[in-house]
Amino acid sequence: MRDEAATRAYVEENIELARREPRTKYLLVIESAEDASVVGTIALVIESPGVGSVGFAVRRSAWGRGYAGAALEALLGYAFTTLGLHRVWAGHEPDNTASGRVLKRPGMYLEGTRRQDVFLRGAWRDTILYAALAPEWSPDTAR
């Protein structure tokens, strides 16, 4: 959890990134449908021409309500139809099977495992990879 100063710096950094041309990062908040409170964030990072990665975080009290899946579906649509990306990928820790289910719903496919590619919380950890390709994706691919 960030303190106020760290949060302010994070927001200011992302505002600056949003102003750059060409834009390479889209950080969006996820709002509650009930009261418009912020329940999380989702980001799309353009890594190279035609390729982006996505990541999301939703506060625990909002888990299981479909917020991450709806945000991911909308962001994939934007990535493919507006930005013209060819490939969007995402990853999660093997123990986080809920994130895997979120990634599958809007049409991302399991690609495999990157073994011990991230040093996190004092240990090397694997990343389970998913991706969606523009020629295969449509809003109707949500499962």
SS (H, E, C) the chain: CCCHHHHHHHHHHHHHHHHCCCCCEEEEEEECCCCCCEEEEEEEEEEECCEEEEEEEECHHHCCCCHHHHHHHHHHHHHHHHCCCCEEEEEECCCCHHHHHHHHCCCCEEEEEEEEEEEECCEEEEEEEEEEEHHHCCHHHCC
Q: What type of residue is 22?
A: P
Average pLDDT, rounded, for the chain: 90
Q: Is the pLDDT of residue 4 over 90?
A: no
The reported pLDDT for the residue numbered 13 is 81
Q: Which residues, in sequence order, are bridge partners of residue 26?
A: 44
Query: Which tokens go with 10?
Result: 């994070």
Of 75, 28, 78, residue with least CA distance to 90: 75
Distances (CA, A) of 134 to 56, 68, 90, 108, 123: 20, 20, 15, 11, 35
Res 1: pLDDT: 60
Report the percentage of the chain scoring pLDDT > 70.
96
Write the pLDDT tens digit of every residue in 76-128.
999 999 999 999 999 999 999 999 999 999 999 999 999 999 998 899 999 99
Q: How far apart are CA 28 and CA 42, in angstroms?
A: 5
Per residue in 10-19, pLDDT (tens digit) is 778 867 877 7
